[in-house]
Structure 1
Amino acid sequence: MPVDARELMEAISIIANERNVRVTMKQTCKGAMVCAASAFTGGLLLGPVGLAVGGTAGGLMAYKMTSGSFRPLADVLLNDLTDEQQEQLVRHVNNAVAEFEISDLAVLLPLLMNNASIQQAVLKTAITFVSNELKMQIID
């Protein structure tokens, strides 16, 4: 029985959820810049008190700007990838587990759920794929 892409994607998603891997849409830098600019401006205008006020105001603005941009990797894998991208990821995962000589889904899924080294290889492949192909940053 060949490896079914959908079932493999669900297995990868389970592993990503267990490890609490999240992705961001490159909003972290923007939030940090807003926070720093607010603290700087507050410091110039009000001195040390302005640093605290500006930093707090900037932190709140950064929170509002980036709210919702951090998502679980599992959600991205199951909902955001096109069929072509899912097939491409499955090929990458198959290449990653090739050293374990697994070509049957009935063998792969139990091994994937119980073998830490296979989980690490598959998760690393998924993270690399999402980072390179989707240009998302990974948060562990």
Structure 2
Amino acid sequence: MPIMAKDIMKLLCAISEQRKMKAAFKHSGRGALVTGIVAFMGALVGGPPGLAVGAWMRSGGFKPVSQILMQLPRAQQQTLFNEATAIISPLMFTDATQLTSLVMGSEALQLQLMGMLVNFLTKELGAEVR
């Protein structure tokens, strides 16, 4: 039985959830400007502690990687599918459940898939991953 793209996406989501992976997209110039304004207003209102609070309120934007993956357009999901399939192709499995069990039981496979995922998020999407 051939593995489906949705099954690979679920597998990648399971790995990212287990590892508590989060990602944020790097701010554009406009985002940086808003961050600066919020931090400045915090400094005016609360002095140095207000500056820290203002910067903290606007920073972050980290979302669970699993959420980001499920919102990707089909073309990008297909790219991830192709890259993940290259990693799992040597495995012998009959269905998505068995594949998930094999991968979740192997630290080495998880690390390979996680590395591929981090590379995709940083290079293709310009995200910062934690």
TM-score (norm 1): 0.72
TM-score (norm 2): 0.77
Q: Secondary structure at the match of 2:23?
A: strand
Number of residue pairs the alignment of both structures matches: 120
Query: Radius of gyration: which is bigger?
Result: 1
Alignment pair present for 1:71 and 2:63 = yes
Measure, in 2, the Cα distance between the counterparts of 1:6 and 1:137: 24
RMSD: 2.8
Task: Please report how far the alpha carbon of residue 72 of structure 1 lies from its aligned counterpart in structure 2 after TM superposition.
Answer: 0.7
8 Å Cα contact 2:20/2:64 also seen in 1 = yes
Give 5+ residue unaligned stretches, structure 2. Answer: none
8 Å Cα contact 2:25/2:125 also seen in 1 = no
Alignment pair present for 1:58 and 2:51 = yes
Q: Kindly report structure 1 stretches of 4+ aligned residues shifted beyond 6 Å.
A: none
Give the letter aligned to residue 9 of structure 1.
Answer: M
What does 1:1-140 correspond to in 2, within 5 Å? 1-27=1-27, 30=32, 34=36, 53-54=47-48, 56-66=49-59, 69-79=61-71, 81-98=72-89, 101-102=90-91, 104=93, 106=95, 107-139=98-130
8 Å Cα contact 2:17/2:64 also seen in 1 = yes
What residue is the counterpart of 1:48 in the other structure? Answer: none
Query: More helix by proportion, 1 or 2?
Result: 1
Q: Secondary structure at the match of 1:62?
A: helix
Aligned sequence identity (%): 19
Measure, in 1, the Cα distance between the counterparts of 2:117 and 2:8: 11
Give 5+ residue unaligned stretches, structure 1. Answer: 43-51
